[in-house]
Every structure is written in structure tokens, then in C-alpha cells.
Amino acid sequence: MVKNTSYHHGNLREQIVKTAFKILDEESIDSIGVRKIARILEVAHSAPANHFQNKQDLLTTLATESFRHLVSIIDKKIPQSRVSLQEAIHYFCDTILKYGLQYPNRYKLLWRTEYTDDKDSELDEAMEEIYVRLTSILKTHAQKIHTDIESQAIAFWALIHGYVLLRLDENLKEGFDEVTGLERQRAIVDVLINGIE
Amino acid sequence: MVKNTSYHHGNLREQIVKTAFKILDEESIDSIGVRKIARILEVAHSAPANHFQNKQDLLTTLATESFRHLVSIIDKKIPQSRVSLQEAIHYFCDTILKYGLQYPNRYKLLWRTEYTDDKDSELDEAMEEIYVRLTSILKTHAQKIHTDIESQAIAFWALIHGYVLLRLDENLKEGFDEVTGLERQRAIVDVLINGIE
DNA sequence: ATCATATATTGACAGTGTCAATTTAAACTC
DNA sequence: GAGTTTAAATTGACACTGTCAATATATGAT
């Protein structure tokens, strides 16, 4: 199915990324291995080296693509400026949570810089786009906000980011968060919105 | 120095934990290895197996001890009930951030359940204590808070936890958080306090 | 002093990531 | 179209890793 009679694979790089994502989604970050991927694709254990310098390079590619994917999701139905600040913030936060719940390991990979190459400018720029989306929401409603917009952005980002990770790592002990779905998230985000208005 | 002329090491378990913490603090979670530790302690590569079933078991011990350590720090000068809610919350959050900045890899290990044994009840209980500390602060000032105390607790915890991780993972892009020290943290926590009062 | 137990050793196995040297296929040039 | 260059895949090696089984040794209890 994947095997190709020709010596040259043709689109091996693409297949490697695809397989790596599959392992990432079905298992974990640490389950990703270059030899394992090569075995799955029925190719020599060292074949991936032609397309990725090393494992970190591969993970950096996964992170960069994931960032772009997430940004594209956000942009798909980004609220117009006429909606309320609350609506816009909730849209942003809901999208992040939804993505995290759907792709837990991708979400973790996005922010764990020890796995990726911190000198990679493409990754840097892809990540930056997330912050741009959030700050632009706050800026369009700046008239409602008193004081420092940067602190507000960091506050919202820390809140939603922390909550998503707590959910993904199952750090909210039993009974501590039996409210599922988006309800809890809406509640805590509302507290913060209440704090800035 | 570590080497002991006797066949039996005497306190090998203790030494393993100590060495593991050293590697954790100076390098990373993934740098911890049972063979590596054995090499450092000049014992056979399989000696640690007598004290820890496997690597996960060792990491679970590190996490449990770290939780207890963190709780002991919190308890050392936990504010009395007479201080303001704001003071009490700031004390809690500052302590968490300070610990995270001092022991970044321990902090990460605490919440990354994929490294530890999620069936370990000791670890569970040690973690639970953190939440107990936070909720008790909110409860002693319950009169000032309107609505759902659980959501408030989760909101604060998500905010501080998220902020600490953003700092540790260096996810706050350049210029996005040039305010160092506790200043930024105080600012975002104040926003949330403002939201609940 | 003997025996049981706890602890440490040795050796093996299947993995891993990353090199270097080699072979093959495709692409480009004359 | 033939010859050469270049890209991509292969093979083999190296030094690691965690874990298991079999063995050896020392300690503590009887």
C-alpha cells in the first residue's frame, strides 16, 4: 500500500510527516521514532535522514505545521469586530480548548520547546501568529479596557493555556472539575472578562 | 567519594533519588536514566532495579517528593486568615511561580502525568494537597466572593499554572513579556481578583 | 553457624538516534 | 542519446537506552 516498487520513494518526506502525526495522535510525543517510522513505511532505517537532519528537526516540522493548522482554524470563522469583546474572547478560548481536546499531543508539542529547535525562525513565526490573533481581539475592543493591554493578553492566554493543559494532563482531581465540555471554561473566562471591564 | 568498599551500598536508594534530582535540575527530565545514574554512583547498571521497579517508578518518587516539598514551602508561611484575600492569593501564586523558576524541570515533572504512575495513590494525595491549600484560601474569604467557589479556584489555578509554564517553556515571545520578576504575575492575578470581587 | 533474605553483579536482548560508506535512480548537460 | 552529476535510499556500525533472568555476595535472624 505504501510500498513502491521504485527505488526512490517519491514522496517519502510527506509520508514521514503523515506517519509521525499518526503516531503523535494515537500514542505520544515520545513514541515518535525515526526508525519506527521507517519500519512502518517499509524503508531503510536511515532513509528519513535524507529529509530531516535529526529527530528534533522532524518534531520542529510537526510543531510548525500544527501551529499553522491551529491558526487556520482560528481564522476560519474569526468574529468580526462588531461582536462583543466577550463573544470574541470566548470564541478564541473555545477554539484553543477544542483543538487541545481533539489533538492533545499536538497541543503539548506546540509549547514544549525542549522538543523543537528554538532557533527555527519558521516555527517562531508560526507561533507568533497565535498571539497576534489574541491581541488583535483585545485591540479592537480597547475602548472597553482600562490599563495595559499586554497584561490583559497574557492573563487571558495564561488562563486558557493553563486550563487546557490541566485538562490534557488530567491534573484536575476528581470532583474538582466534574463540569465537562465548555461550561467550566466559559465560567472562568467570564471571571477574567469581568476583571478587565 | 560515593564509592563504598562494601558490597552492599547501604543507602543506594537515597543516593539514586539524590542523583536523579541533580540530573533533573541540571539537565532535563529525559536526561534522567537508570544506567546513567548507576554509572555516576559507580554501581552495576542494574542495581537501581532493587529499589525501583522501573524508570517510571523512579520518576513517580521524584514527583511525589517534589509535591511534598512544594507543599512544605507553601505551609512555611501560609498567611493567616486575617490578611486580605488579595494578599493571600498573591502569596500562593508568588510561591508557585518562585518554585517553578527555581526548579523548572521539577515543576514540569509535577504535572506531566505521562512520566509518572497515575495509579500511585501517594502521588495523588501529595498533589491533592496543593489544591487544598488554594481552596482553603478562597474559603476563608468566601464572604467576599459571589458564586461558585470551585470555578474561582480553577480560574486562579489555571491562570498561575499557565503563566508559570509559559515562562518556563519560554512561550512568551520577545517583547511580549519583558516585565520580569513578579510584576507581571501580580498584574494578571490582580485582574482575576478584580473579576471575582 | 546456618539459613533466608535483601541487595548487587553480570550478561543478554531488543530497542533507540546518528554517523559513514555505498549503491541506486533520477536529472541535467553536452 | 551518452555521460556525468546529484539526490535519495541502503547497509553497517557505534554507543547508547530500559528491562529481564541468572548468578553472586553480604547482611540479619534464628
What one-letter code names the amino acid at A179?
A: V
Tell the residue number behind the cell numbers 526508525, with chain if given.
A35
CB atoms < 10 A from the CB of A177, how many? 18
- Asked if residue A5 keeps its beta carbon closer than 7 A to nucleic acid strand D, the reply is no
Which of the nucleotides lies closest to B36 (Cα–C1')? D17
Query: Which cell numbers hold the place of A158?
Result: 495564561
- Report pTM: 0.92
Q: How high does pLDDT run on average in chain A?
A: 89
Q: Residues A120, A63: contact at Cβ < 8 Å?
A: no
Query: Any CB–CB contact under 8 A between B167 and chain A?
Result: no
Q: Tell me what pLDDT residue B144 has.
A: 65
Shortest distance, CA B151 to any CA of chain A (angstroms): 6
Cell of A17: 510527516
As a whole number of angstroms, the distance between CA A91 and CA B153 comes to 23
Q: Cβ of A155 under 8 Å from any chain B Cβ?
A: yes
Bases along strand D below 7 A from a protein CB: 7-13, 16-22, 25-27
How far is the C-alpha of A151 from the C-alpha of A15, rounded, in Å? 42
| Cell 494578599 found at | B87
| 8 A C-beta contact, residue A143 and residue A63 | no
- Distance from the Cα of A187 to chain B's closest Cα (Å) equals 7
- Give the model confidence (pLDDT) of B122-159 as tens digits: 999 999 999 999 999 888 887 666 667 888 899 999 99
Q: A31: how many CB neighbours lie within 10 A of its CB?
A: 12
pLDDT in tens, A138-189: 888 876 666 678 888 999 999 999 999 999 999 987 656 555 667 888 888 8
Higher per-residue confidence, A27 vs A79: A27
Confidence of residue B25 (pLDDT cuts 50, 70, 90): very high
Phi and psi angles of residue B192, each rounded to the nearest 5 degrees, phi first: -70, -40
- In the stretch 76-105 of chain B, residues with CB closer than 8 A to chain A read none
**What is the least distance, in Å, from the CA of B4 to any CA of chain A?**
36
Which residue from B minimizes the CA distance to A163?
A: B158
pLDDT at B80 over 90: no
Are A148 and B187 a contacting pair at CB < 8 A? yes
Cα separation, B141 vs B143, whole angstroms: 5
Nearest to B112 among A148, A154, A169 (CB): A169
Instruction: Confirm whether any atom of chain C, the nucleic acid strand, is less than 7 Å from CB of B2.
Output: no
Whole-number Å distance between alpha carbons of A160 and A158: 6
Whole-Å CA distances, B86 to A120, A148, B81, B138:
41, 20, 12, 10
Instruction: Quickly state the pLDDT bin for B176 (edges 50, 70, 90).
Output: low
Phi, psi of A5, deg, nearest 5? -65, -25
pLDDT computed for residue B188 by the predictor = 86
Q: Give me the B residues in range 36-65 that sit within 7 A (CB) of strand C.
A: 38, 43-47, 49-51
Grid cell for residue A46: 536511515
Distance from chain centroid for Cα A6: 36
